[in-house]
Amino acid sequence: MRAHTLIPSALLLLGSLTLTAACSHGSGTPGPTPEAQPGPPSTASRTVDPSKIKGLEIVNDSSEQSSCPFAVSYPDVPGAEAMTAAMKKDVDQRLDTFRSNRCGSGSASGGEFNVSHRFLVASGDVLGVRLTTLDGSGAGNGQSAKSYWYDGKDGAYRQALDLIADGSRDAFSAALKKRLRGHEGVDPTYLDDAFADATHLAGLLDDLSFTTDGGLRVEFEPGTVGGTAAGSFVVSFTKAAITPWLSPFGKRAQKQTERPSDGLDLGATSTPSAAVPTHTASADDDTDCTKVKCIALTFDDGPAAPETATLLDHLARYKARTTFFVVGQNMAAHPALVRAEAKAGHEIGNHTWNHPDLTKLTPEQVAYQLRRTSAAIKAATGKAPTLFRPPYGAINTKVKAATTLAPVLWDIDTEDWKYRDSAKVAQTVIAKARRNSVVLMHDIHPTSVAAVPQILRTLTAEGFHFVTVSHLRATL
């Protein structure tokens, strides 16, 4: 039950919606919710450290081309395969639609497609994840969010509405309608239609999450209970008001949000922990690029397990140094891999938190995307980055003015995200390699990582030295 709308991508921010209209909040006090302001997610929601989730992998897919700008990211947690499958189905369907509308020949102009994730709960036997989707193609759904749940006790994927007991859904719906009715921006016709069909209720109420004080937050996306221009609406229930309506699973999810247990156990048969290489740079790089042929390989969108670890092994074998432009939400899952990159003598650059087109954001949003990621890099490696790569190479004077980081583009594009063909990726780099080139690749794709040994072997034989971007710039 999603409206067919186009929302400016400037509204994209992690889990926080600038369009959120003032609606009932807390015990019914009217006024703007914390989500009404651009910026970080509400402090009322639980902060989960994903690096503590054993065996976690982040499913990533993205392009680096402004003619087909997309980036999707969602977690794959061992034991919760049914939930991963539900996210994959939703994301793939929307991405396919976006790509066929936006990226084909004669494609229409339009915005980007972005799916970012945030953990709501990851402890005890409860996993909750919220995906925020922005579809700026004009053919998609505009902006929306959905929460996905996994019940480790029963070994089952749960939809958001499953937090509410079957027998309490009528009362819950009636309470929501009552809170929304008469509110500015809520259209009575939309409202009655939205709640008229009980079979569509799970689609309408697909974004439920608990607050740290045990309350429940329900978000209605644009176009569901009011016109699209009215934006989204948030209704919050206090713990006392919502608890009698919760299902047994809902009560466990509420408890894990309020007072998380140590660790997550979904009953997975195996949770292999990803290998983290321990290569250590022997000394500073003294390569003089005025005297020898240098080239800077760059790897974007990671880190990814296990691909980044494999790549670090390849690079160590040839004593090659490179630059990694990491994405914050991936780094949150695998900080140890970024630490390993830095320890091996590679440079870490900033590639934003969730890969938006920065030219579509406000200066404050640009600053937030970069600042949050730089802080995560500094926390993992002890050193703040000095470089950033704008997703899709999209940059303008406004973006440059919003940060002190220096932008890095590229002159050799392997288009490895498109081809997924190791031989083709290796051939492209080898054929186009010139002195002082900056090469764009992505370490989230196994095919790109597999192309690296041949690139290193061939170009080393041709006399190339592999250096970081900062080293190349400093010695030219």
Nearest to 222 by CA among 135, 322, 342, 106: 135
CA distance 253 to 210: 8
Helix (H, G, I), strand (E, B) or coil at 144: strand
DSSP 8-60: -GGG--TT--TTPBP--BTTTB-S--GGGSSSSPPTTSPP--GGGSTT-EEEE
Host H or E run for residue 342: helix 335-343
CA distance 164 to 251: 9
For Ni ion, give the closer residue by CB, 25 or 355: 355
Burial 329-343 (b: 16+ CB within 10 A, else e): bbbbbbbbbbbbbbb
For Ni ion, give the closer residue by CB, 232 or 354: 354
Instruction: Indicate whether 443 belongs to the interface with Ni ion (CB under 5 A).
Output: no
CB 185, min distance to Ni ion, A: 36
CB 467, min distance to Ni ion, A: 21
CB 348, min distance to Ni ion, A: 15
CB 397, min distance to Ni ion, A: 21
Burial 245-281 (b: 16+ CB within 10 A, else e): bbbebbebbbbbbbebeeebebebeeeeebebbebee
Quick check: 10 and 361 in contact, CB under 8 A? yes
For Ni ion, give the closer residue by CB, 64 or 207: 64
Does 421 qualify as catalytic in the annotation?
Answer: no
The site for Ni ion, by CB under 5 A, has a size of: 4
Cis peptide upstream of residue 222 (ω within 30 degrees of 0): no
Residue in 117, 442, 445, 465 annotated catalytic: 442
For Ni ion, give the closer residue by CB, 17 or 358: 358
What CA dihedral angle connects 436, 438, 443 and 447, to 10 degrees? -80
CB 414, min distance to Ni ion, A: 13
For Ni ion, give the closer residue by CB, 142 or 391: 391
Among positions 316-375, residues that touch Ni ion (CB under 5 A) are: none
CB 417, min distance to Ni ion, A: 8
Quick check: 211 and 22 in contact, CB under 8 A? no
Among positions 45-64, residues that touch Ni ion (CB under 5 A) are: 64
Instruction: Indicate whether 300 belongs to the interface with Ni ion (CB under 5 A).
Output: yes
Among positions 388-407, residues that touch Ni ion (CB under 5 A) are: 391
Q: What ranges in 197-294 are assigned the alpha helix state H?
A: 201-204, 239-242, 248-258
Helix (H, G, I), strand (E, B) or coil at 218: strand
CA distance 433 to 450: 18
For Ni ion, give the closer residue by CB, 220 or 417: 417
Q: x/- contact string, 64-83, with Ni ion (CB under 5 A)? A: x-------------------
- Provide the token pair at 325: 């432009």
Instruction: Indicate whether 301 belongs to the interface with Ni ion (CB under 5 A).
Output: yes
Q: How far is CA 315 from CA 333, 377, 414, in A?
A: 22, 21, 18
CB-nearest residue to Ni ion: 300
Quick check: 306 and 450 in contact, CB under 8 A? no
Residue in 300, 357, 416, 443 annotated catalytic: 300
Instruction: Indicate whether 416 belongs to the interface with Ni ion (CB under 5 A).
Output: no
Q: Which stretch binds Ni ion (CB under 5 A): 3-11, 145-153, 362-370, 387-395?
A: 387-395
CB 451, min distance to Ni ion, A: 17
Q: What ranges in 64-196 are assigned the alpha helix state H?
A: 81-102, 169-180, 188-196
For Ni ion, give the closer residue by CB, 209 or 447: 447
Q: Which residue type sits at 355? A: H
CA distance 310 to 315: 9
Instruction: Indicate whether 112 belongs to the interface with Ni ion (CB under 5 A).
Output: no
CB 127, min distance to Ni ion, A: 27
For Ni ion, give the closer residue by CB, 133 or 298: 298
For Ni ion, give the closer residue by CB, 162 or 301: 301
What CA dihedral angle connects 455, 458, 460 and 466, to 10 degrees? -20
CB 99, min distance to Ni ion, A: 16
**Among all residues, which ones are annotated catalytic?**
300, 442
> In the complex, which residues of this chain contact Ni ion (CB under 5 A)?
64, 300-301, 391
